Copies of this chain bind each other. A is one copy, B any other.
Amino acid sequence: MLKYIYDFSEGNMNMRSLLGGKGANLAEMTNIGLPVPPGFTVTTEACNRYLEDDELWPELIEEIKLHIGNIERITGKHFSDETNPLLFSVRSGAVISMPGMMDTILNLGLNDQAVIGLSNSTQNSRFAYDSYRRFIQMFGDVAMGIPKSLFEYHLDQRKEKKGVANDTDLETEDLKLLVEDYKALYKEQLGEDFPQDPFQQLFQAIKAVFRSWNNPRANVYRMLHGIDHSLGTAVNVQTMAFGNSGNKSGTGVAFSRDPSTGDNALYGEYLINAQGEDVVAGIRTPQKIATLKEIMPTVYQQFVDSVNILENHYKDMQDIEFTIENEKLYILQCRNGKRTALAAVNVAVDLVNEGLISKEEAILRVEPESLDQLLHPTFDPKGLEEAKVLANGLPASPGAATGAVYFTAQDAKQAVENGEKVILVRQETSPEDIEGMVVAEGILTARGGMTSHAAVVARGMGKCCVAGCSDIRVDESSKVIRTMHDEIHEGEQISINGSTGKVYFGQIKKQQAELTGNFKLFMDWADELRRVKVRTNADTPKDAKQGFEFGAEGIGLCRTEHMFFDENRIMIVRSMILAEDMEKRKEALDKILPLQRKDFYGIFKAMQGRPVTIRLLDPPLHEFLPVKDKDIQEVADLLHVQMQDLKDIIRDLHEVNPMMGHRGCRLGVTYPEIYRMQTRAIMEAALQIVAEGETVQPEIMIPLIGDLKELEYCKGEMYDEIVSVFEEKGMQIPFNIGTMIEIPRAALLADEIATQADFFSFGTNDLTQMTFGFSRDDSGKFIHHYQEKGILNTSPFEKLDQKGVGKLVKMAVELGRKANPNIHLGVCGEHGGEPSSVDFFSRIGLDYVSCSPYRVPIARLSAAQSAVREKMEKK
């Protein structure tokens, strides 16, 4: 005969498909010797048979009765007992948890006798009758389908009659009357008495769980998530334990280690003579777990032992719910405990040191994104408690910053020169604000999403930023921030938290990050385990140094255009762009050459011989041009041209879709002299490093390649220039020339392009824009609708779209390697520092990822996790 019921002691963790997730977990805890309230699981197979037969069959009923009998023997409690009644909770438990399944029924077994028993055993008759009326309501509603509102109607009537407002104001006698009301309602609705027989209650409850498998919400959920309809749900029937049955009882929650710091010491709290709700409600103040030792030393020791068993079994810090009923300890639930990043790292390292887990396991225990908490300064928790929130925005770039608000780059610079700390506040930022962003402690914008200019640049700088803060209006002309109720004027202090998006009034104290001790050890393990290299994106020696400190193994993207925005250079750049002919353009380029050479020299120096990938000029030229009349006039004066002529030129440079316009290597094709100048600056700087006896690995990257011939043309020009530099200096060094792969066509034709490229660097930002046809600047207008309607789970600019964009990347990797087995492959888009994307890049065989300095540790850990998981899957 098929076995349809398993006592908790008969199952284990691996029987999920038969017992469901919850049942398997209860069985596991029981079997490792934990004091779990006894019970049994009705299997998913029973569910499937019931859904076919539409009734419970005699053998099953016998089997249920048999198990109830066992539990009565074990617990000494009995159904309908007037001193110590046996009561159960009944819960659904499918293999995969899903919404729409039946709610829990508690206190099953209560009837007119048992309620007396409960009153006696808990010495709390109000609690007993309140439990009874709740049980009738739960059973009537959940199992028998009586509308909840009808029960609520009776409850309201009862309160009205007594002239009170709250449920808690009803006393035992009121609740007794309410029980009678509910029983009458039950009969009126169903034409039969509320069942006094606990077995009848149980059979009805089990059938209700089974039926809930087929309710419409669960059906739709399974359809949407491709879950097999034939899995069925199990039913868990478990003895109730009462922490409120007197002063020898209690309930609590504890962590096996400190979830804030990771310290290996029991951490938690409990209440005597209380139920779970009482701890949560916060009416009584719970006691520290350590004090239990004095009150109930045996129970305390038993709890400590249970915690140790659990940690040893699950090999991780546990979050444990427990109840004590008359000095008997019950473990109701345990799971891996939530913790801060600091605790996560410390616990992982300690567990390795304690010999409980391997380094590989430790690596998987820390959420890579959480490391961010450890890298940035944070607000002092005490200060934060007292702070008042001004507004909420998007957590665009993590960290904490405090300063006086200023509304223009110019004003911000001035204030910093005067010794102030500054928060730059803008409607949204543009390249012209760069200098203000550089000097500011943090940036706050009212518009723009997680991938807006402000957000991207701030993350690149490792600078705190709250973007898209739609709660505020930034009035740049009056120099004031307005919210519904408040105004903040220029010079007033605010604090912003780029990790949460919160903006606060006034100053808040900060605490610095530390990168030593367990953190360092943990990251060293990650480095041992990962295959994929991690580089940093860095445009300045300062960023390069920061990335280096965070463990970057090179620079994967050095954007040269940011160097062009410097106040001292922008005029030269503008005269280069507006030059009438090639000769004048070369004149301007000659002035830029020594400046760029100096930039590159500094960056090479900072990276101490590691590879440095420099991307040649990428953005559309018009981005460098002045917008305001005042600035246009200034340029016109400098260039000795008429204001109107200059305006005409600027208008001609305007583009309808600049993202897909005259930029990237298209500039290299139309104005080869620009790429030649940059190539010369790079090679001259590199030779200077070598002349000083140090090493250097320059890699020159051509952006926006879409065709082999583009690459050949640009390379031809660059080789010419490099040969000249080598001849002039009388020495030569190895170098690489490669391409960004960021145009879909380049990915499709990667086999051709690979024949002429030493490396590919996937620019997944632009590749995502073009593969989706989503402008990063504009998609904010509709992308939230997509998320609300379930069309997109996450923005593809945050997590790589592995299915679509990833397919292109994978294709390019395969085509590229086939055509050029020596090609070096990396990624330098924002995705290079996002864990799920790094996992993908690691699996498809990229050689490195590159990300902004502050994400380097996150990428290192993600890459290690990917390697460990892949190794585990292969086993």
A871 at the interface (CB under 8 A from B): no
**Can you list 11 A-B pairs with a CB-CB distance of less than 8 A?**
A656-B658, A656-B778, A657-B778, A662-B778, A662-B782, A669-B786, A670-B785, A704-B773, A706-B804, A710-B786, A744-B771
Task: Please name all residues of chain B whose beta carbon is closer than 8 Å to the beta carbon of A666 when the two chains form the complex.
Answer: 782
Task: Please name all residues of chain B whose beta carbon is closer than 8 Å to the beta carbon of A65 when the two chains form the complex.
Answer: none
A791 at the interface (CB under 8 A from B): yes
A94 at the interface (CB under 8 A from B): no
Q: Assuming A657-B659, A661-B779, A748-B808, what are 8 further A-B pairs, CB within 8 angstroms? A: A655-B778, A657-B658, A660-B660, A670-B781, A709-B790, A744-B804, A748-B771, A748-B807
Interchain CA distance A770-B786 in the complex, whole Å? 21
Given contacts A662-B781, A707-B792, A789-B669, contact A808 B775 (CB under 8 A): no
Interchain CA distance A659-B670 in the complex, whole Å? 24
Interface string of A763-774 (1 = CB under 8 A from B): 000100111111
A342 at the interface (CB under 8 A from B): no
Interchain CA distance A458-B808 in the complex, whole Å? 36
Interchain CA distance A65-B517 in the complex, whole Å? 95
A632 at the interface (CB under 8 A from B): no
Among candidates B656, B779, B803, residue contacting A659 with C-beta atoms closer than 8 Å: B656
- Chain B nearest CB, measured from A648 CB (Å): 12
Interface string of A126-147 (1 = CB under 8 A from B): 0000000000000000000000
Interface string of A459-503 (1 = CB under 8 A from B): 000000000000000000000000000000000000000000000
| Interface range for A | 35 or more
Task: Please name all residues of chain B whose beta carbon is closer than 8 Å to the beta carbon of A713 when the two chains form the complex.
Answer: 789, 791
Question: Which partner residue on chain B sits nearest A666 by CB separation?
Answer: B782
Interface of chain A residues 714 through 748 with chain B (CB within 8 A):
742-745, 748
Interchain CA distance A662-B775 in the complex, whole Å? 9
- Chain B nearest CB, measured from A453 CB (Å): 10
Task: Please name all residues of chain B whose beta carbon is closer than 8 Å to the beta carbon of A13 when the two chains form the complex.
Answer: none
Q: Contact: A781 with B745, CB < 8 Å?
A: no
Among candidates B657, B771, B804, residue contacting A657 with C-beta atoms closer than 8 Å: B657
Question: Which partner residue on chain B sits nearest A659 by CB separation?
Answer: B657
Task: Please name all residues of chain B whose beta carbon is closer than 8 Å to the beta carbon of A785 when the two chains form the complex.
Answer: 669-670
A777 at the interface (CB under 8 A from B): yes
Task: Please name all residues of chain B whose beta carbon is closer than 8 Å to the beta carbon of A769 when the two chains form the complex.
Answer: 660
- Chain B nearest CB, measured from A783 CB (Å): 9
Q: Contact: B777 with A657, CB < 8 Å?
A: yes
Question: Which partner residue on chain B sits nearest A790 by CB separation?
Answer: B709
Given contacts A658-B778, A778-B658, contact A772 B745 (CB under 8 A): yes
Question: Which partner residue on chain B sits nearest A707 by CB separation?
Answer: B791
- Chain B nearest CB, measured from A689 CB (Å): 34
A237 at the interface (CB under 8 A from B): no
Q: Report, nearest first, the 8 A-B pairs whose CB atoms are least far apart.
A: A657-B775, A660-B775, A661-B778, A656-B777, A745-B804, A655-B778, A709-B791, A743-B773
Interchain CA distance A766-B772 in the complex, whole Å? 12
A864 at the interface (CB under 8 A from B): no
- Chain B nearest CB, measured from A477 CB (Å): 15
Interchain CA distance A436-B790 in the complex, whole Å? 44
Interchain CA distance A172-B801 in the complex, whole Å? 83
Interface string of A658-674 (1 = CB under 8 A from B): 11111000100110000
Task: Please name all residues of chain B whose beta carbon is closer than 8 Å to the beta carbon of A781 when the two chains form the complex.
Answer: 655, 661-662, 670
- Chain B nearest CB, measured from A429 CB (Å): 14
Interchain CA distance A268-B786 in the complex, whole Å? 70
A437 at the interface (CB under 8 A from B): no
Most B-side CB within 10 Å, residue of A655, A656, A669, A773: A773
A805 at the interface (CB under 8 A from B): yes
Task: Please name all residues of chain B whose beta carbon is closer than 8 Å to the beta carbon of A658 when the two chains form the complex.
Answer: 656-657, 775, 778
Q: Contact: B745 with A805, CB < 8 Å?
A: yes
Question: Which partner residue on chain B sits nearest A712 by CB separation?
Answer: B791
A749 at the interface (CB under 8 A from B): yes
Given contacts A743-B773, A766-B773, A775-B657, contact A669 B709 (CB under 8 A): no
Among candidates B709, B745, B778, B803, residue contacting A771 with C-beta atoms closer than 8 Å: B745
- Chain B nearest CB, measured from A674 CB (Å): 13
Among candidates B749, B766, B804, residue contacting A803 with C-beta atoms closer than 8 Å: B749
Q: Contact: A669 with B770, CB < 8 Å?
A: no
Q: Contact: A661 with B804, CB < 8 Å?
A: no
- Chain B nearest CB, measured from A41 CB (Å): 36
Task: Please name all residues of chain B whose beta carbon is closer than 8 Å to the beta carbon of A782 when the two chains form the complex.
Answer: 662, 666, 669-670
